[in-house]
Amino acid sequence: MATLYELTGSYHQLLELAEDVDPTAFNDTMDSIKDAIDDKAVGYAKVDRELDKDEKALREESQRLSARAKAINNNRRILKQNLQDAMETTGKTKIKTKEFTIYIQNNPASVKIPDEGKIPAYLTKKTIVPDKTRIKELLKEGKDVPGAELSVSSSLRIR
């Protein structure tokens, strides 16, 4: 059976020969190409359905694994915090064994900002983001928006 690419090529070739071919033969051939494309479309839709199922299953598995990794990370954090608390309570800053060297180390200085509103403007960063919803409304009203244009595309839907 021909590929979708080959069928599309045959369709275009037949259109180019439309004037030179018997109308009955042309219509019969055109119908057979269209039927073959319909059959291919059904096959593509079936493959798409299977790929959709695979994608959903993989996303669910990804979420499950992500949740598990988060739980393990949380357990590690609690474990390390408990050990640090015990070491600080007993005044130990270092434990050295054959397997591990465990010690408490000061972290680099970090900045805490309990109230962002009190920070002077010259110490803040501002991000300018175009309001695409408003721009779209203006363009649909026929107004000119420099640097923007209305774009319409199409996509395939399979039900």
Residue 145 lies in a domain: no
Residue 97 lies in a domain: yes
Residue 18 lies in a domain: yes
pTM: 0.64
Structurally, the chain folds into a number of domains equal to: 1
Domain residue limits at 30: 9-113
Residue 30 lies in a domain: yes
Residue 45 lies in a domain: yes
Residue 21 lies in a domain: yes
Residue 159 lies in a domain: no
* pLDDT tens by residue, 27-36: 899 999 999 9
Q: With the C-alpha atoms ordered 25, 30, 33, 35, is the resulting torsion angle positive or negative?
A: negative
* pLDDT tens by residue, 72-97: 999 999 999 999 999 999 999 999 99
